[in-house]
Structure 1
Amino acid sequence: MAKVHPSAAAAAAAAAACTGGGGVRPAAVLTVWRRSLLFNGNGFAVFDAKGNLVFRVDNYASGSKAEVLLMDAAGKPLLTIRRKKLSLKDQWLIYEGEEAANPRFAAKRHVSLLHHGALAHVTPCVSGAKPCHAYEIQGSYLQRCCAVVDDKRRQLMEIKRKEPAKGITFGLDVFRLIVQPGFDTSFAMAIVMLLEQMFGSPS
């Protein structure tokens, strides 16, 4: 089977394209494979430019997506995404590790045309703070062409299709996750997981 992770040269080229090739610290370029490492399970495996496993998601083989856990390569829990119960809108909460209280972020899916192409908003859960849309997700997850911007419209991460290699077409199950310096790669992957829950995609 062909390697799904990027070569170091390809990752460097993609990072340079994202940063303009200047002296700025390059973006992290990860390859996301929409497949669990567990036999016949659902989830994701995420690789760095050297082909090392960095994240894994393989904990909803039963088909339930009410709770999804992001782990590092060793299986350590990093972030948990849970669908908000008894909510009239499509909303999810992101927790640290496997905690069940004090969520870090709340996410809401948008289906209204009034949001001008926005797929969803992710807002920090800060007690006593006024609600604000800290991160906006734009584009099309089904087409693997979307980006996350902050409240100043700066692009923080991007999901892009992986280019064919040596005549091999990867389809939609293998794609690139480009994360700009300063943006947490585990949180970026949690956003990918959110999009999968919100919009899904064909196998």
Structure 2
Amino acid sequence: MSCPIVNERFCFKEEMNLTIHKSSLFYPGDGFIAYNPGGEIVFRVDSYCPASRSKDELILMDSAGASLVTLQRKKPSLHQRWEGFLGEKNEGQEPIFTIHKSSIIGKYDIVAQVHNTDPIQEFKIEGSYVQRSCKILYNNNPRITESSSEEEETKVVVAEIERKMDSDTKVVLGKDVFLLCLKAGIDGAFIMALVLVLDQMEGHDYKESGDMVNFTFGH
């Protein structure tokens, strides 16, 4: 599927496995570098927080340092609501998507609404980000209910988060280095933005978790 939400140039024509390196030189959890199989930087998030920028704001950049998405935690918000803006956010700019927890207690979904897509698109994440083992699925028929026998036939895996193995030693690397496997046509910049928010919401919760995390996209 082709689904440009942030930038069409990151809707790769072929499947792409990005190696994600999570760094925390100054502030935990806010630094990332994404490399393609050739070792070239595709995305980055600086692991520092200058005085002019809130620690509740992340900017996803391309390899040249151009801002692709600004992610801001909305406060106060019991549901950990985040908003995503194209480029570097300007005064009065409207978000292109929002992400929040559906509940503040017990099991919850994570819901994302994209405001520049029509018709509604629905994605679900199944598995555990904490364990770096989850799938992002696109539901091309969101009207089918979960009780429908046809539902599974409408789901398509568009991205996966997996543990990475060292090719020489065959040892599984730590959770700060993992794979983001993108299917052809999916907007890699948008998926990477979701990874950043997932890390903020779930990255510091090290309990075992296999709960399903749901993303719903609409306008």
TM-score band by shorter chain is 0.7 to 0.9
Distance 1:82 1:134 in 2: 22
In 2, the alpha carbon distance for the partners of 1:136 and 1:72 equals: 26
* Closer, same or farther: CA 164–64 of 1 in aligned 2, 3 Å: farther
Please give the per-residue CA displacement for 1:17-66, whole angstroms capped at 9, x wherever unaligned: xxxxxxxx641111000026xx6564001100100111110154479641
Letter in 1 for 2:196: M
Which segment is superposed worse, 150-159 or 183-192?
A: 150-159
Structure 1 counterpart of 2:3:
none
The answer for the alignment partner of 1:135 in structure 2 is: 123
Using the alignment, how far apart are the partners of 1:59 and 1:95 within structure 2?
20
Q: Decide whether the 8 Å contact of 1:162 with 1:176 is kept in 2.
A: yes
Which residue of the partner structure matches residue 137 of structure 2? 149
1:97 corresponds to 2:87: yes
Contact 1:65–1:197, Cα closer than 8 Å, also in 2:
no
Superposition map of 1:169-188 within 5 A? 169-188=172-191
Matches of 1:169 and 1:72, distance apart in 2: 27
- 1:77 aligned onto 2:67: yes
- Which of the residues 46, 49, 56 maps onto 2:34? 46
Q: What are the equivalent positions in structure 2 for 1:100-111 lying under 5 Å apart?
A: 100=90, 101-110=93-102
**SS of match in other structure, 1:142:** coil
**1:199 maps to which of 176, 183, 202:** 202
TM-score, with structure 1 as normaliser: 0.72
How far 1:151 sits from its partner (Å)? Answer: 2.9
With structure 2 as the length reference, what TM-score do the two structures score? 0.68
Q: Given that residues 46 and 54 in structure 1 are in contact (C-alpha distance below 8 angstroms), is that contact kept between their aligned partners in structure 2?
A: yes
Q: Which segment drifts farther, 58-67 or 163-172?
A: 58-67
Which structure is richer in relative contact order (CA contacts within 8 A, separation 6 or more)?
Answer: 2
Closer, same or farther: CA 90–53 of 1 in aligned 2, 3 Å: same
Letter in 2 for 1:90: Q
Structure 2 residue aligned with 1:164: 166
Q: CA RMSD in A?
A: 2.9
Unaligned runs of 5+ in 2: 1-12, 141-154, 207-219
What is the aligned counterpart of 1:125 among 111, 115, 120?
A: 115
**Number of paired residues?**
172
The structure richer in helix per residue is 1
Instruction: Note the alpha carbon deviations across 1:131-184, whole angstroms, 9 max, x for none.
Output: x67222221111001121223322111100002332254210100001111111
